[in-house]
Amino acid sequence: MYEKYLNIINEVNGVITAKKAGKMGISRATLKDMTDKGIIRRVEYGVYATDKFIYDEYYLFQLKHPNVIFSYNTALYLQNMTERTPTKMDITTRSNNNLSRYKDKINLYRVNDSILNLGKIKVKTICGNEVNSYNLERTVCDIINNKANIDIEIANKAIKRCIKTKDFDANKMFDYAKKLKIYNKVKDYMEAII
């Protein structure tokens, strides 16, 4: 009876929100029945998973909040530019998005819509799920602009590591710096560390 619904959930990485399930023809009552019968489990409020799903906090957060972008230390971590696992997720979102209920779990950065998607890319988590992150060029700009929010030793090490990667594009970084209105700050920092 529930096999059809189980297949639908498994097709979306084995995890689904109640909202998305509703759009795919699975009612909340069906999700509750499937949970009660042990066919699926509730992993968070409004989020259900099959046995196929491997717990992935980054993917779960992105699933519940599709408009957020992982930034700063979290972006570095997701792109293998730091060995240190972030104690909190660094999240950038639009200025009117209120995620204060997660203050113990995230560091929240708010920006205007005009620059929110600047440098946004898809990256894979350690579990292989795709999430939104800033690319290295945007991440370097953000770190230089907000050095107070990151340990300076970690920042310098991470930035040096980023600019040495073959995929790093210094021209793109300076273009972002202009759009973020921090060109001189980025230029001065780069001249000091190189």
Tokens standing for residue 94: 């639009």
Query: What is the pLDDT averaged over residues 57-77?
Result: 94
Q: Point out which residues pair with 60 in neighbouring strands.
A: none
pTM of the predicted model, to two decimals? Answer: 0.88
CA 24, 30, 32 angle in degrees (round to 5)?
A: 125
d(CA 186, CA 159): 11
- Compute the residue count for the chain: 194
- Domains observed in the chain: 3-53 (1.10.10), 65-193 (no CATH)
pLDDT tens figures, 81-122: 988 888 999 999 998 888 888 889 999 999 999 999 999 999
In angstroms, the CA 132 to CA 129 distance is 10
For residue range 4-59, what is the model confidence (pLDDT) as tens digits?
A: 999 999 988 899 999 999 999 999 999 999 999 999 999 988 899 999 988 899 99
Q: For the segment 132-186, what is each residue's pLDDT rounded down to a tens digit?
A: 999 999 999 999 998 766 777 877 888 889 989 998 999 999 999 999 999 999 9
Contact 72, 155 (CB under 8 A): no
User: Which of these, 145, 45, 143, lies nearest to 102 by C-alpha position?
Assistant: 45
